[in-house]
Amino acid sequence: MLSVVVLISGTGSNLLALLKTIENPLVPVRVLAVGSDGAAAGLAHADFYGIPTFVVERGKFSDRESWGLRLQEIVESYNPDLVALAGFMKILPAKFVDRFSPNLINIHASMLPLFPGANAVRDTLAAGVTETGATIHVVDAGVDTGPIIEQRKVPVMPGDDIATLHERIKVHERDMLIQTIIGVAEKRIDLASI
Ligand code: GAR
């Protein structure tokens, strides 16, 4: 059984897809807790499944390092095998990354290394490209730079806005997140050798 702590910042649709998948007792994955950097709507999904939640607000700490240390302490208290960033929109301090990587994965709404950062879908539309993608990767010390586990191409359609394109990308993000976590649980994916 692979134990996971999930960190989110937003609606948590990726988290919800994972929680629905692991309702099946044959899936060898357990979500121990879900954390956020603020009042994320997606925490309600964890509540629904009776999974503990925690919030560590960046604004309550004088610097990123002390915020990251508190977040690290709470995540460590669950002793997870894996930490999954599923729409977590804050940059984690190097100490946090060093502590958990390579057992620290992130989904991103573009074909990295194109369009890193917090506004990938907006930046993709602004660039006027006809194709983008979804990425799942191991987190390293950079921003959206870590070793890539899987990527999928996603078309940009005429008339797309941020919401329509993002949803088309998220369909793939959800599937890649679930397949990666199950792959790690079943030892078909070795994050240390990505
Ligand atoms: C996802 O599209 C994910 O790629 C993005 O936040 C969204 C969360 O969606 N994360 C990043 O851009 C991190 N750089 P959700 O809250 O519906 O799961």
- Best residue for ligand 1 mutational test, from 19, 34, 105, 108 (most atoms within 8 Å of Cβ): 108
Domain range summary for the chain, segments of one domain joined by +: 2-193
Which tens digit of pLDDT belongs to each residue from 183-192? 999 999 999 9
The average pLDDT across 85-101 equals 98
For the residues 119-126, what does the mean pLDDT come to? 98
Determine if ligand 1 sits within 6 Å of the CB of residue 17. Answer: no
Q: Cα(28)–Cα(146) distance, rounded to whole angstroms? A: 26
Per-residue model confidence (pLDDT) at position 2: 98
Q: What is the pLDDT of residue 137?
A: 98
Kindly state the helix (H) or strand (E) to which residue 8 belongs, with its residue range. strand 2-8
Under DSSP, the state recorded for 93 is P
Residue 48 backbone class (left: φ over 0; alpha: ψ -120 to 50; beta: rest) = alpha
In ligand 1, which atom is closest to the CA atom of 11?
16
Q: What is the pLDDT of residue 182?
A: 98
Tell me what pLDDT residue 179 has.
98
- Of 92, 191, 182, nearest to 148 by C-alpha is 191
pTM of the model: 0.98
Confidence of residue 43 (pLDDT cuts 50, 70, 90): very high
With contact defined as beta carbons under 8 Å apart, do 169 and 177 qualify? no
Please tell me if the CB atom of residue 170 comes closer than 6 angstroms to any atom of ligand 1. Answer: yes
Name the closest-CA residue to atom 2, ligand 1.
109
Å from CA of 121 to ligand 1 middle = 10
- Ligand 1 center to 159 CA (angstroms): 22
Amino acid sitting at position 44: A
Over range 155-177, report the average pLDDT. Answer: 98
CB-based burial of residue 29 (10 Å sphere; 0-12 exposed, 13-18 middle, 19+ buried)? buried
- Closest CA relative to residue 137, chosen from 95, 182, 101: 101
Which letter, b or e, does each residue of 33-60 get, where b requires 16 or more Cβ atoms within 10 Å of its Cβ? bbbbbeebebbebbeeeebebbebeeee
- Ligand 1 within 6 A of 40 CB? no
Domain 2-193, architecture per CATH: 3-Layer(aba) Sandwich (3.40)
93 and 101 in contact (C-beta within 8 Å)? no
62-80: per-residue pLDDT in tens? Answer: 999 999 999 999 999 999 9
Within 10 angstroms of residue 64's Cβ, the number of other Cβ atoms is: 15
Beta pairing partners, 29:
2
Active-site residue list: 108
Ligand 1 pocket member 165 (CB < 6 A) = no
Check residue 90 and give its pLDDT: 97
Q: Percent of the chain having pLDDT more than 70?
A: 100
